[in-house]
Amino acid sequence: MTHAYSDITFTPAVRAMQSVMGSRTAYARFDQAERRDDRLGARESAFITARDGFYQATVSETGWPYVQFRGGPAGFLKVLDDRTIGYADFRGNRQYISAGNAMANDRISLILMDYANRARLKIIGRVRLVAPDDDPELMATLEVPDYRARVERGVVISIEGFDWNCPQHITRRFTEAEVAKLTASLREELVQLKAVAAQAGDSLR
């Protein structure tokens, strides 16, 4: 965990609960850290750009959180620099809850999952919506040319903090592509066995 992340998320109420539950001492060291560590490194950047989806939370004017899954081809969430990430916002069901929330409250939180490797990265930051005509150069960076979806806006997130969560309780799940990669050698072996069986059958005729 980075000091930047704990400084924001460990509110007085959170610290009080940690004290009650006996974990305050273990986390107190983050309060004393001199470095904020709020800049993405190579590990974070590689993890972010490999994802094909993430969970995103925004907050309404009335204080209610709204959590949404954002998906696309792997790499659609882009690292713009070591403090900024962004993505092209594709047209969906046109409820615009996340977009509307962002207009009133720029706080945002993301959870990025790698179920196959039981890894989880949490990001908190400030979000900015960009209309396509307002910054064509940025939109060109965010768009995914081979993905057939209408882009309505750009979403740019200035990172305030991030945290690698522990793998405990993450159930392993695999995408079709991951399953195909894991079973490639088995499928190749099956093709070879079928060929051998076919030749043996022919020799018995």
Domain hosting 14: range is 1-36
**Mean pLDDT, rounded, for 177-197:** 91
- If asked whether residues 132 and 202 sit together in one domain, one would say no
- Let me know whether 61 and 76 are in one domain: yes
* C-beta atoms surrounding 34 within 10 Å: 6
Residues 28 and 44 in one domain: no
pLDDT tens digits for 120-179? 999 999 999 999 999 999 999 999 988 888 899 999 999 999 999 889 899 999 998 899
* CA diameter of the chain: 82
Whether residue 169 is found in the same domain as residue 184:
no
pLDDT score recorded for residue 142: 95
Q: How many residues can be counted in the chain? A: 205
Per-residue pLDDT at 203 exceeds 80: no
| 62 token code pair | 């009335």
The domain tally of the chain equals 3
Are 196 and 168 within one domain? no
Q: Which of 42, 176, 72 is nearest to 116 (CA)?
A: 176
Q: Compute the distance between CA of residue 44 and CA of residue 143 in angstroms, rounded to an integer.
A: 21
**How far, in Å, CA of 185 to CA of 59, rounded?**
47
Question: In 3D, which of 143, 179, 162, 175 has the Cα closest to residue 47?
Answer: 162
3-22 pLDDT tens trace: 899 999 999 999 999 999 99
- Tell me the CATH number at 121: 2.30.110.10
Does one domain contain both 182 and 113? no
Q: What is the pTM of this model?
A: 0.88
Residues 8 and 86 in one domain: no
Residues 72 and 15 in one domain: no
User: What gap in Å lies between CA 40 and CA 2, rounded to an integer?
Assistant: 11
CA 77 to CA 54: how far, in whole Å? 9
Q: How far apart are CA 110 and CA 132, in angstroms?
A: 23
Q: Could you give the CA distance from residue 85 to residue 48 in angstroms, rounded to a whole number?
A: 9
At 64-86, the pLDDT tens digits run 999 999 999 999 999 999 999 99
Confidence of residue 99 (pLDDT cuts 50, 70, 90): very high
> Same structural domain for residues 168 and 182?
no
Same domain (yes/no): 164, 180: no
| Whether residue 36 has pLDDT greater than 90 | no
Q: Are strands 53-59 and 65-71 parallel, antiparallel or unpaired?
A: antiparallel
Residue from 44, 50, 51, 14 nearest 30 by CA: 14
Q: 165 and 65 in one domain?
A: yes
Q: Where are the beta strands (DSSP E) in 91-138?
A: 107-114, 119-130
Residue 25 and residue 92 in one domain:
no
pLDDT class for 46, splitting at 50, 70, 90? very high
